[in-house]
Structure 1
Amino acid sequence: MRSLFLFVFLVLRVSSTPLHFDEPSCGYTSCPQADADSLNVHLIPHSHDDLGWLKTVDKYYFEDVQNVIGSVIGALKQNTNRTFIQVETAYFKRWWDKQSDSTKQDVLELLNSGQFEIINGGWSMNDEAAVNYQSTIDQYTLGLRFLEDTLGACARPRVGWQIDTFGHSREQASISAQLGFDSLFFMRLDYRDRQKRLNDKTADLLWKGSQSLDSSYIFTSVFYRDTYSFPSGFCFDIVCQDEPIIDDEESPDYNLERRVNEFAEYVRGQASGFPSNNILVPMGDDVRYQAAFTNYINIDRLIQGFERFPQTVDGKTIKVFYSTPSCYTKAVNEFANNNNYYLDVKTDDFLPYATDGYGYWSGFYTSRPSTKRFERQGNNFLQLSKQLAAVSNQPYENDITPLKEAMGIIQHHDAITGTEKQDVLKDYHRMLYDSLEKANKAIDPLLSTLISGIPDDSFQFETCLLSNISSCSASRSIRFTVAVYNPLSRVVSSPIDLPVSAQSWTILDPNGNQIDYQVEPTIIDFSYVTNVPTSPYTLSFIAEDLPPLGFKIYTFEQTAVKPSTLFYGNENTSFEIDEASGLLKSITMNGVTMEISQDLYYYKSGSYSGAYIFVPLVNEKYRVTANSVKITPISGSVYQGVIQEFASWAKQIIKVYNNDNSHIEVEWIVGPIDVRDETGEEVGKEVVSLFTTPLQTDGNFYTDSNGREMLKRTRNYRPTFDYTNEEPIAGNYHPVTSRIVLKDEEQGLELAILTDRSQGGTSLEDGQVEIMIQRACPHNDFKRSHRNVGDSINDQEYGQGVIIRGKHYLVLGPTTGDGERSLAAVQRDVAQRKLLAPWPFVTNQEVSSRLKNLQFSALKQPLSDNVQILTLEPWNDDVVLLRLEHIFEKGEDETLSQEVTVDLSDLFTTFTITELVETTLGGNILLDEHVRMEWPGADNVATVTDVDDFKVVLTPMQIRTFLAKIVVNRIL
């Protein structure tokens, strides 16, 4: 069985062009031999090619990147000692697709000799603070698959290269290990942490990326300086002005020996901070090597100069040579194993990043929140699109691949972070919106066919991407049909909101039963939106018991009579508003009633606060309103709540859903923000939502790492270095990708606030949670970030400051939970239901006569609450990519944190799995053929568990990736 499957796995590597190559000598076998008695200086020629930042993706490619790759290939052919590392697969694919067969042949030969090495391998160099783990895995899968299918095994990356991201998450380390990487390199960490590591010689370390996965150790190397550029004075590219190396002794400008001495001094300084007899020196920068020959000829002379004028450090000869991060990893690994040297072990993360006592890069956790929410919607739609394509047994690549690529680009560390220029921001949004529209057109016939049973049917479903501004053309009709698709692997019920133009409706579920709904005026008047029709009302209903990986059909028809309110309140979950102040007063949930207040504040910020950095002008907050908050109660058959108006530019709706006791919803809308103070002077305003409780938290709180494992945070403290408190507010901000939690250990109580996008959050006082929800900064933070974007983040749309709409979800109760699940389990359930929310497809076409299958599930039975199908997508003919994940950490829940078995033998309704082979996380390497480096003191070997009779065992936090060969049960 396995030999047949190997053919399926490997067949895509065959190129359509007649390329050939000799026996490969790539990988660790191609590395120069490090000398045990020398200081080995590994020179790393590289170019960092941002997928948008100061320029759009297209402009970077056509003006710069295509010149870099083309120039490098020519220069490498001239000297077999030279090396280069290629990182961003999105750019490389674009370049490769335009090359002649002879150029492609050159690339293959350079890859197979180890001169040209692919590292990282993702579609982009993703951010690590604002991204969700699912999107990170997807963008790596996209890049790694192209490399594997097109270039073969020598293009498999062995190294994570996250050199330009603004701090580093623990989950990124875990993902890198699961991808099969042996090492991870970066430059940005807190300035105090870097100095301590250099002093202690722990800048090379082992990082344990998961507390639940023993195999998550990865060798990690921190750059010597806070830059990935050439050492000062040694940039030789066409855009550089540094002095070239002149080795002609007859020339009056001869400088070889002096330049060697200068470089040797730099090397000696770096060598003192690293544990082995190896150091890595990056020789590159942003879009460098456009004139690769100029760069390389000078580096050639530098290397030759060390041979002519030997240099030493601590009695060791300095040996300088071309290398790669992989070869550096190999050399350090040999040193560690030969000397039984135990590297320092890291178990937390490298966030937030600070360049000095006042330069905390914690602003980008929230910057441009509309982009951060749009990305989450893109991920939601991408997952259900891949699922529908897989269960429909239909080809999809041409129409859904653009969405995969756009999502890969928006994970880039200058995209989802909000740190790009305004025109680049608009280009990201255009790219994602266009790809969503294209994917929707591809999904419509798949979904329509599942509903009607008619091949290639079309109901002309819309996805209502503009419902946040109360716009959805299909639901403005007097009658329309909604298909609600559930991308989770278990049955869920979910509130669905739709913009409508009337208040009275009849809604029928798949069984013909009328269902309750409620219609309320939109949270604000969206008439300021031009060229887009908006609706004055929002209709809400509960889509109950949605089948896993499936849908239900609901029909809507406008009526003359509005149903009466059934009741007000929820005896299990409720909240109280203080009548005098208009603010939240208390919450009742899971048998606990607690006084909890919530208010909106803002910080004033000046010229140091911008897209990257958060620096308040003074260490105090200002209330959005000095008066009481205007309140308007809401009561209906779907939810009860209150509208709070803090100011003309800041409103909220607090909701309790009648049939959902798991959380309380706070929907907020902020903007346009006036960036002037009372004197008329421009001043930034950074708006926060502040929750205050009586919980005794001892300075501790918890935040998630990219939506997976939780990390303990302690105010004014770092576990690996001495923290100084020059910036007591920004320095305590951490990224909140999905939730922030307070725990009162003595009382056994906790409060969690879950987010619908990445935001910055903290607990500045015991019992308080503060989440930043919007930033309007009219200044640029170049003075501290040293990244001259040139634009502020005072974004404008429709002739005014941008208006941002979002949601928080509150979960309160005893740590032991609701009687059935721990409170952590309740939180994970809510987080999953919001990340991969049921998606309404709306059509106003007359389809009643074709409604055959009013509900459908791709699974014959739901999976257990601790298991999720993380990925289901077509891979090639009769093969799907399938990822299963255990969504709980060790010890989170007495029952759900246990090992679980998933039986795949008869799980899916439209196909049956006949063969199964396990791969690394990226889907590009057979797991039983992959071996990671071993380090003293670390268990790096992933456990390969046989899959007997298609039964897959999962341990806490484990993700297992399979290529599954299928036979179709049901042709659609």
Structure 2
Amino acid sequence: SCPATNPSMLNVHLVPHTHDDVGWLKTVDQYYYGDRNNIQHAGVQYILDSVIDQLQKDPARRFIYVETAFFYRWWRQQSQSTQRIVAQLVNEGRLEFINGGWCMSDEATTHYSAVIDQMTLGLRFLNDTFGECGRPRVAWHIDPFGHAREHASIFAQMGYDGFFFGRLDYQDKARRMKTKEMEMLWRASESLTPPLADLFTGVLPNGYNPPEGFCWDQSCDDAPIRDDPDLEDYNVDEIVQKFLNAAFYKTNHIIMTMGSDFQYENANLWYKNMDKLIKYVNALQAKGSKVNVLYSTPSCYLQELNLANLTWPLKTDDFFPYADDAHDFWTGYFTSRPALKLYERLSNSRLQTCNQLEVLGGPKSKSGPFGEGDSDTMKRAMGVAQHHDAVSGTEKQHVAYDYARRLATGWAHCEVQKHKLHHSNTLATLGSEAPRVFCENLNISVCPLTESSHKFSMNVYNPLGRTVSWPVRLPVNGSVYSVTDANGRAVDSQVGNVFISLKCTCYIYDMKSSCLLPLLSVSMYQKSESFQKNEVMCVFVLFGNYRYNASAGNNKESRQTSGAYIFRPNSSDPFVINKTAETQIVTVSSTVQEVTQRFSPWVSQVVRLYEGHRELELEWTVGPVPVADGLGKEVITRLDTDIKSSDYFYTDSNGREVLERRKDYRPTWELKQTEPVAGNYYPINSRAYIKDDKHQLTVVTDRSQGASSLYNGSLEIMLHRRLLYDDFRGVGEPLSEPGEFSDGLVARGRLLLTLSPPDTAADVHRPLAQGMVLQPLLSFQDGTPSANTKLEFSGLQTSLPPAVHLLTLSQWDKDTALIRLEHQYQAKESKTHSQPVTVNLQKLFSTLEVLGASEMSLGANQWKEDMNRLQWNTEKTSKPLPLSAKDPSPWEVTLNPMEIRTLLLRVRQL
């Protein structure tokens, strides 16, 4: 369906498009309906109405659409006749879906599991609605603020042929324009055998805007093409001569993005002027011009580049951090809105649990009181939350509230799912009809049931495919408790202050075993022990809390301020919040040992070491950040050690593979460092570490944050930000979140610290990171279970191998389930686990019989055997990797390091 090009000319591919943020200055609903245009004039429903109308008027016209969340809503409101017209436009290649996820996700603050889910959600709708012609071939991230290698790897494994984006560091762009390296082959994995994670990647010449002077939307001020020669203001010759400047690309093809934010609400303006532009530029060919302009799409442009059969430069690192000027580093949003970032991460865990329960629960779980599967609402809420102005924290405050509200609604729907399954015969038969309670405010020590009930039971559901040991802290109103497990055995616990602390061993899909808490007359006591140093901690580690004062834009070098996007401290050295912390040592039996540190009225920290655990937990509480002195503040925790890290540190990419970082250095160009702090910050989604030959200090996080290593042996993580000025990137308000109970947001979170030899560190921090992402779900019931209560349940026949992670288990259709099995170790990362491992599908589940299995692409919108991606030539070769191991039988799936296998299983409930 691609238009013909002229091989002897410079072919200019005009790509009509709109960029429709799934929330930013307005909420998703407000953007769709065109509400609150006093904030921003934008109405997505009118864009789609107008574009479909204009495409019918000329078969040469093209349009691409990206955000499935909006298109899904619009499609459901259309008549059958309009739907038939749209389907025909799609089949003819004139309306093409690009990217195709529920949103255009952020790349810095998103976890790979949530990214895969939101892509699958959008791609499945397009596949179900339009079939093969609706399948996107090109990934399109024109607005995100830096680009992650893991995203490129995901897109490649989903079957995309190429990837285009708009933003990259201004120094990197200048070099690439000079050397004609604006397009490259991105080798996005050091573990997957090429070309599995290879992705052709291009930088768009104008970001995602039209060339200067060629914006013809109703929101633009550029002159239309005035082509009546009898008029005094005839400007065709001027427009044509101004059009072309494409010397920094390698081929005789150039892509021009003709559109921008929420444009094409009146598509006639755009198409009428582009029709004229094509007509008059191409008319000059009769006079010897070598320029050919045509309506096109990114897929058609990409096909032409592939047919050129050139050799392309190789990219193996990522595109972080992103700066658009010398003092303008977009590294603040790695931490912005820390509470929303945590809520999104916890919501991801809740969604995976909800998905699993729908599969394991059988027919009773397939429909809910809301008229659809109970996980569907959460899937869409999480899909929206991955948007690059959602979990990134770069939206207006009222929009942040809306994202949180959507997630809360999703939680409520999934709680209905768990209630149903507690009363189903498949999983657990409860003798009592007492409602189950989900204490969503345990982070602020609130759970009315545990604080008021004399007898209650706690249910723990473990969504991981392996046994975990999980510490639990509950607020209670007494001091004498007896705690027993499902087999009546005593569980070690201790009441201290208003908490009871205990350790629950959660078995595979443990529905009812872990901790039953009836009140009995058994005395508990505390041992008087000193806080002992864990034997693993053989390196000096100093914990310190600091703050950077934010630039107010009055610096003589630049007027740039710190804001939701940009991190710019007014000094390279952080300020110590308090040199002497008030410390209270609390030792709680053999369950947990604690040290509480109070640095100031608004910064405190609890250091915990649990019995049997090798990791140290730091629970930090920051806020409300004081700003009465007129200074915004950005709070960090810094870990100073005697590890000889030599300016190197390591950060994960979207929670998966790890990249090496080096202070004041970029692998692909000679950096001129202008911001010694902000210019060295990188995003972490689950972990970061420093190491030398003998020791590795790893920090596992509970949400996405910004991190750096500015000194030898030091690792710092930004926890919270409160700012007083907007940073002039469009959001139009300072990042100064209000608090529910105080003047300013109070954020609380956890960091897990491990210290191991580098050659065994991954064996510790990989499972810790997965356990932090997929946390056990706690629910409570007043009273004690009756005699016929089923207290234990496991959805798997046995634990998965340590290297295997159950990434996805969700209901697909009536008799099918989607499963993703992931090898969670990189090649050569672990002596023990960086080996191929095999899983037998027929021996996997305890409640399901697997009758058949078909492998799909990672996005689950294509059969694996049908994937046929474009191949590209590169000027460099990769390091040799071991040959991939093969499946020994049709029922056995072999996973190589960093490989994800996506399968559609035909199942029958046992």
TM-score (norm 1): 0.88
Say yes or no: does 1:664 pair with 2:619.
no
Q: Which residue of 2 aligns with 1:26?
A: none
Contact 1:716–1:732 (Cα < 8 Å) also in 2: yes
> Equivalent of 1:382, from 344, 347, 351?
351
Answering whether residue 761 of structure 2 is matched by residue 790 of structure 1, we say: no
Work out the CA distance in 1 between the residues paired with 2:283 and 2:98. 33
Equivalences for residues 890-909 of structure 1 within 5 A = 890-909=827-846
Structure 1 segment 107-186 matched on structure 2, within 5 A: 107-186=86-165
8 A contact 2:581–2:598 mirrored in 1: no
2:543 aligned residue: 598
Within a 5 Å distance, the mapping from 1:157-236 to structure 2 comes to 157-214=136-193, 215-225=196-206, 227-236=207-216
Q: Distance in 2 between matches of 1:253 and 1:309?
A: 21
User: How far has the Cα of 1:456 moved from its partner?
Assistant: 12
Q: 1:286 to 1:143 in 2, by over 3 A?
A: same
Instruction: Look up the match of 2:635.
Output: 687
Q: 2:680 maps to which residue?
A: 732
Following TM superposition, by how much is the alpha carbon of 1:164 offset from its aligned partner in structure 2, in angstroms? 0.8
Please state whether the residue corresponding to 1:122 is helix, strand or coil.
Answer: coil
- Provide the secondary structure at the position in 2 that maps to 1:840: strand
1:761 aligns with 2:707: yes
Is the CA contact 1:725–1:731 (under 8 Å) kept in the aligned structure 2?
Answer: yes
Residue of structure 2 equivalent to 1:12? none
Task: Show structure 1 runs of 5+ residues with no match.
Answer: 1-29, 522-536, 576-587, 817-821
Alpha-carbon shift at residue 909 of structure 1 (Å) = 0.8
Q: Paired residue for 1:721?
A: 669
| Residues 526 and 588 in structure 2, CA contact (< 8 A), matched pair in contact too | yes
1:709 to 657, 660, 671: 657
Indicate whether 1:773 and 2:716 are aligned: no
Shift of 1:242: 1.3
- Residue aligning to 1:45: 16
Describe the SS at the equivalent of 2:503. strand
Asked whether the equivalents of residues 539 and 643 of structure 2 are also in contact (C-alpha less than 8 Å), the reply is no
- 2:557 corresponds in structure 1 to none
2: CA distance, partners of 1:673 / 1:561: 43
Q: Which residue, 931, 934, 942 being the options, matches 2:871?
A: 934
Q: 1:628 to 1:403 in 2, by over 3 A?
A: closer
| 2:274 matches 1:299 | yes
Supply the AA of the counterpart residue of 2:189. S
CA distance in 2, matches of 1:734, 1:195: 22
The one of 291, 305, 309 equivalent to 1:318 is: 291
Aligned to 1:564: 525
Q: Which piece of structure 1 moves more, 626-635 or 353-362?
A: 626-635
Q: 2:899 aligned with 1:958, yes or no? A: yes
CA distance in 1: counterparts of 2:702 and 2:808, whole angstroms: 21
1:306–1:953 CA distance, 2 compared to 1 (3 A): same
Q: Distance in 2 between matches of 1:305 and 1:854?
A: 77
For residues 274 and 589 of structure 1, do their structure 2 counterparts lie closer, same or farther at Cα, with a shift above 3 Å needed?
farther
Contact kept in structure 2, 1:927 and 1:944, CA below 8 Å: no
* Cα distance in 2 between the residues matched to 1:960 and 1:73: 38
What RMSD over aligned residues (CA atoms) do the two structures have, in Å? 2.0
**Are 2:627 and 1:675 equivalent residues in the alignment?**
yes
What's 1:800 paired with? 743
2:236 corresponding residue in structure 1? 256
- Say which SS state the counterpart of residue 810 (structure 2) adopts: strand
- Give the Å deviation of 1:367: 0.5
Superposition map of 1:69-80 within 5 A? 69-80=48-59
Deviations 1:368-406 (A, max 9, x none): 100010011101111111111101113144321000100
Instruction: Tell me the CA shift for residue 907 of structure 1.
Output: 1.8
Secondary structure class of the residue paired with 2:871 = coil
**Aligned letter for 1:834?**
M
Match 1:510 to one of 477, 486, 489: 486
Preserved contact between residue 62 and residue 296 of structure 2 (Cα < 8 Å): yes
Among candidates 742, 756, 765, match of residue 813 of structure 1: 756
Gaps of 5+ in 2: 35-42, 553-560
Deviation at 1:566, TM superposition (A): 5.0
| Correspondence for 1:648 among 583, 588, 601 | 601
Please say if residues 428 and 793 of structure 2, whose CA atoms lie closer than 8 Å, have aligned partners that are also in contact. no
Q: Does 2:729 align with 1:829?
A: no
Is the contact made by 2:102 and 2:383 (CA closer than 8 Å) also made in structure 1?
yes
Number of the residue aligned with 1:919: 856
String of CA shifts for 1:667-687, please: whole Å, max 9, x gaps: 01011111133xxxx111100
- Matched residue SS, 1:78: coil
Matches within 5 A, 1:488-499: 488-499=464-475
User: CA offsets per residue over residues 460-501 of structure 1, 9 Å max, x none?
Assistant: 222222111122222222221111111111111111222323
Whether contact under 8 Å (2:182, 2:202) holds in the other structure is yes
- What does 1:69-108 correspond to in 2, within 5 Å? 69-108=48-87
Match of residue 500, structure 2, among 539, 547, 570 = 539
SS at match of 2:842: coil
- Helix, strand or coil at the partner of 1:683: coil
Residue aligned with 1:399, SS: coil
Counterparts of residues 518-557 of structure 1 (less than 5 Å): 518-521=494-497, 537-548=498-509, 551-557=512-518
Kindly indicate whether the alpha-carbon contact (under 8 Å) linking 1:418 and 1:425 is maintained by their aligned counterparts in 2. yes
Classify 1:454/1:563 alpha carbon distance in 2 versus 1 (closer, same or farther; 3 Å).
Answer: closer
3-state SS in 1 of match to 2:325:
coil
Q: What SS class does the counterpart of residue 50 from structure 1 fall into?
A: coil
Deviations 1:382-433 (A, max 9, x none): 1111111101113144321000100011111101011100110111111111
Cα deviation, residue 505, structure 1: 1.5
Correspondences of 1:241-390 after superposition (within 5 Å) = 241-263=221-243, 267-268=244-245, 271-310=246-285, 317-335=290-308, 337=309, 341-390=310-359
CA distance in 1, matches of 2:91, 2:247: 35
Amino acid corresponding to residue 332 of structure 2 in structure 1: G
Question: Alpha-carbon deviation of 1:241?
Answer: 1.8
Match of 2:421 in 1: 446
Assess, with a 3 A threshold, how the Cα gap between structure 1 residues 48 and 850 changes in structure 2: closer, same or farther: farther
String of CA shifts for 1:835-876, please: whole Å, max 9, x gaps.
Answer: 1122211122x4521652211111111110000111011100
Distance 1:448 1:778 in 2: 51
Q: Tell me the secondary structure at the aligned position of residue 324 of structure 2.
A: coil
* CA distance in 2 between partners of 1:495 and 1:455 (Å): 25
Partner of 1:152: helix, strand, or coil?
helix
**Structure 1: how far apart are the matches of 2:704 and 2:330?**
14
User: What fraction of aligned residue pairs are identical, expressed as a percent?
Assistant: 40
Q: Is the CA contact 2:651–2:661 (under 8 Å) kept in the aligned structure 1?
A: yes
Q: Provide, for residues 8-60 of structure 1, a one-character-per-residue CA deviation record: whole Å limited to 9, x for no partner.
A: xxxxxxxxxxxxxxxxxxxxxx1123322111111111111111100011000
Secondary structure of 2:333 counterpart: coil
Q: Secondary structure at the match of 1:632?
A: strand
364, 378, 395: which is aligned to 2:366?
A: 395
Distance 1:182 1:559, change over 3 A: same
Partners of 1:777 and 1:213 lie apart in 2 by: 42
Amino acid paired to 1:829:
P
Alignment CA distance shift 1:705-1:567 (3 Å): farther
Deviations 1:733-783 (A, max 9, x none): 0001111110113xx21110111000100000010001000001111111x
Counterpart code for 1:643: T
Change (3 A) 1:241 1:882: same
Contact 1:642 1:654 in 2 (8 A): yes
3-state SS in 2 of match to 1:428: helix
- Find the partner of 1:880 among 817, 837, 840: 817
